Amino acid sequence: IWIMNGDGTGAQQLTPNDWADYEPQVSPDGRFIVFTSERNGDRKIWRMNIDGSNPQILTQINGRAFNPIITPDGKTIFFVWSKEDKRVLGSVPLAGGEISEQPLITNSYMTFSPDGKQIAYNPRANFGEWRYYRGGATAPIYIADLQSGAVEKLPNQNYNDRFPMWVGDKIYTISDRTGIFNLFSIDRKTKQAKQLTNFDGQGIR
């Protein structure tokens, strides 16, 4: 894991090369980095200071933990918890402490709404990089209300909407609805999707 300034300068390596550390998330106050690591032999959620010091494991649990996201208030980490024969949504305080299981089946990347009351997520793993894939493992985006438990599927005609990111009243996604992966925004009010890039050779990630 590396860190750099917003203009691309000052790049610094924070974790050693001999460990698999990935999926970094910076806390809203800029003090911590939360990430997935395999340094103890299995995927777990770790936290370290923004300068890379004082790394600590937060999920001493049975099963793997990965794809962490931090609530907008900076207090809680949500993550995918692979336990037994299912993958569920787990949570742990950013400061460390008791681990909880949330009543939601998820399998991939997630993003919080700005108020922290909802998440956008893929309920199953994103399927490879196959172009024009329209089989049974396509990846739609769902919206879950963390208070009521209500779940809503965004409009999807059996294409892949991947890596959702919620900004304001729009959800941004890398989608192959035109055949090649491009960046789209989906308006939460109108449900309309707008294409933002127009690559027709290699798609984007």
pLDDT confidence band for 130 (50 / 70 / 90): confident
Chain mean pLDDT for the chain: 90
**CA-CA distances (angstroms) from residue 78 to 3, 113, 150, 199?**
22, 13, 18, 33
3-state helix, strand, coil in the chain (%, to 5): 0, 45, 55
The strand pairing partners of 182, in sequence order, are 175
The pLDDT of residue 127: 59
pTM of the predicted structure, to 2 decimals = 0.86
Average pLDDT over residues 102-114: 81
**Spatial distance between the Cα atoms of 27 and 69, rounded to a whole number of angstroms:** 9
Residue 48 has pLDDT above 70, yes or no: yes
Percentage of the chain modeled with pLDDT above 90: 63
**Quick one: pLDDT at residue 125?**
64
Checking if the pLDDT of 129 tops 70, the result is no
For the cut 90, the answer to whether the pLDDT of residue 53 exceeds it is yes
